[in-house]
Amino acid sequence: MRLTLWTYEAPPHVGAMRIATAMEGVHYVLHAPQGDTYADLLFTMIERQSKRPPVTYTTFQARDLGGDTAVLFKTAVAEAYERFQPQAIMVGASCTAELIQDDPGGLARALNLPIPVVALELPSYQKKENWGAAETFYRLVRALADPACARHTGGRPRCNVLGPAALGFRHRDDITEITDLLDRIGVDVGVVAPLGASPADMARLGEADFNIVLYPEIASTAARWLERTFHQPTVATVPIGVGATRDFIAEVARVAGIEVPAELAASASRLPWYSHSVDSTYLTGKRVFIFGDATHAIAAARIAKDELGFTVVGLGTYGREFAREVREAAALYGIEALITDDYLEVEALVSELQPDLVLGTQMERHIAKRLGIPCAVISAPVHVQDFPARHSPQMGFEGANVIFDTWVHPLMMGLEEHLLTMFRDDFEFSAEAAPSHLGHAAAASPATLQPATPQSAPESDTSDWAPDAERELRKVPFFVRGKARRNTERFARDRGIALITVETLYHAKAHFSS
């Protein structure tokens, strides 16, 4: 048993959902108790998908356990097939259903559906989300890739791009970026999977000359199988950062057996110049701590050291499957890798190292905030703000531009904040001073320099607050309290009320709330 507050990864069936949701024409029937549907909102809220994930849950309850949960499961599969008419169906169990030991694969096959049924064994008490995604993708590739599929003939070299999934950090934009880059290299993209792929697309994976694994956490198992089955080599360089993108171009060219256009190998990113410009000199030797999934953490470390001139003081991952790779990378910087999924260990190391910048997940963002250290997000898990509306890849040359801005921004902010604190006692920077672009009309006189609590600034000279009304006002959340105070005082003034009571407060609230 392990005491856990924050988990970097979800259970493995959420990994399977990420694959199903990424694809077209696939439906997932999950044997799961009532309540496990919570995972839907990761897709509809965090990723803001406009469709429900293609998942049917059996949602069994206690009263079903005495009866036949197997029948419940078969009914759910049959209904899902009839309603959604998928080209392939995935079946499996979540953690609780794993304990009651119905056999989803066997039960689904007994229905003799005229489509492929892919049974998933995802051991919930040992494995986690990324493993679940990788295993699911591998099972689908095995089941759906047509072994008789012939290699394409004629035209430019062709590759499959593997790994992008639902709920992936910037997967949507990375695909755009890399597809465009491959086109300029002179390589066609056969199938992108799982994101946007249908079972029919998966059937023709064998047509391509080679595979590109963009996200090893999700696609390397499947790529190894394709290597064995279709003799397709794998391009394993992950093109995050300018150097890595150049290496990626070189590797693609070598595997495809083509020459790369000279202008493409030269820099197509603004990062190198921005990083060389004198404005960036202050970045030199900034101590940076990096934590995330292995792929993004390793890539970030290389960019930090070679492209921005930082010193990498910490490197780690929560993904135990790729611990070896992260340890090797850490050795390059003369440090020991941190392999853990316990955020308290990460926090302990960050506070011990006191870096100038933290690059990590949503969790590191909060650790850094608590410790007052600038931070940027480089890896899942992430909140809704890291599924942005704007184009913001991490990969390729545009990805490098995005990364430069994203990482330097909090440092500039940190510097500004530091200056503001340093000069806090100067009248221009005091909390009372109006922003400079508003002119000097509101500039504070030296008399107001004493630290004043902002809320206590008198707003009205006609109304007094009764003590109980003042207490009541304090129950209003701080971010609307100022508005409540102003509205109430305006209300009282307009009516010539001299003493604001609790009643006045609520009269005003009723008056203004519509």
Eight-class DSSP state of 40: H
What does the angle CA 404 – CA 365 – CA 384 come to, to the nearest 5 degrees?
A: 85
35 belongs to the binding site for another protein (CB under 8 A): yes
- Residues 17, 20, 22, 42: which binds another protein (CB under 8 A)? 42
Instruction: Give the SS3 label for residue 70.
Output: helix
Interaction residues for another protein, span 87-126 (CB under 8 A): 94-96, 99-100, 123-126
Q: Which of 146, 183, 279, 494 is catalytic?
A: 279
What does the angle CA 261 – CA 267 – CA 271 come to, to the nearest 5 degrees?
A: 155
Output the DSSP codes for 188-239.
EEEEEESTT--HHHHHTGGGSSEEEES-HHHHHHHHHHHHHHH---EE----
479 belongs to the binding site for another protein (CB under 8 A): no
> Which residues, other chains included, contact 256 with Cβ-Cβ below 8 Å and sequence gap of 6+?
157, 159, 185, 186, 187, 209, 210
What does the angle CA 29 – CA 33 – CA 36 come to, to the nearest 5 degrees?
A: 75
Alpha-carbon distances of 325 from 152, 244, 252, 417, rounded to whole Å: 34, 16, 21, 37
Interaction residues for another protein, span 4-33 (CB under 8 A): 4-7, 9-11, 13-14, 33
Site string for another protein, 372-391 (x = CB under 8 A): -----------x--------
Q: Which range binds another protein by CB under 8 A, 43-51, 109-117, 308-316, 403-411? A: 43-51
Is 279 labeled as catalytic in the residue annotation? Answer: yes
Instruction: Give the SS3 label for residue 319.
Output: coil
Q: Which range binds another protein by CB under 8 A, 62-70, 133-141, 285-293, 487-495? A: 62-70
CB of 456 to another protein, least distance (A): 21
CB of 482 to another protein, least distance (A): 17
501 belongs to the binding site for another protein (CB under 8 A): no
490 belongs to the binding site for another protein (CB under 8 A): no
CB of 412 to another protein, least distance (A): 24
81 belongs to the binding site for another protein (CB under 8 A): no
Between 384 and 431, CB nearer to another protein: 384
CB of 71 to another protein, least distance (A): 12
How many residues bind to another protein according to rule CB under 8 A?
A: 67
* Phi, psi angles (nearest 5°) of residue 291: -150, 140
**Residue type, position 433, single letter:** A
Question: Residue holding tokens 């703000």?
Answer: 385
CB of 306 to another protein, least distance (A): 32
228 belongs to the binding site for another protein (CB under 8 A): no
- Residues 18, 27, 31, 128: which binds another protein (CB under 8 A)? 128
Residue 355 CA to residue 9 CA, distance in Å, equals 25
Interaction residues for another protein, span 432-471 (CB under 8 A): none
What does the angle CA 46 – CA 51 – CA 55 come to, to the nearest 5 degrees?
A: 90
Between 128 and 302, CB nearer to another protein: 128
Between 253 and 505, CB nearer to another protein: 505
- Residues 28, 60, 137, 289: which binds another protein (CB under 8 A)? 60
Instruction: Tell me the CA end-to-end span of the chain in Å, nearest whole number.
Output: 51
425 belongs to the binding site for another protein (CB under 8 A): no
Order of all β-strands in the sheet with 117-119: 55-57, 26-31, 88-93, 117-119
Asked whether residue 414 is marked as a ligand-binding residue, the answer is: yes
Of the CA atoms within 13 Å of residue 112, those in its CB half-sphere come to 0
Asked whether residue 162 is marked as a ligand-binding residue, the answer is: no
Residue 312 CA to residue 357 CA, distance in Å, equals 10
CB of 383 to another protein, least distance (A): 8
Question: Residues within the annotated binding site?
Answer: 36, 414-415
Please give the positions annotated as active site. Answer: 279
Question: Residues within the annotated binding site for substrate?
Answer: 414-415
Residues at the contact surface with another protein, assessed by CB under 8 A: 1-7, 9-11, 13-14, 33-42, 44-45, 48-52, 56-62, 64-65, 76, 79, 83, 94-96, 99-100, 123-126, 128, 363, 366, 370, 383, 472, 475-476, 502-503, 506-507, 509-511, 513-514
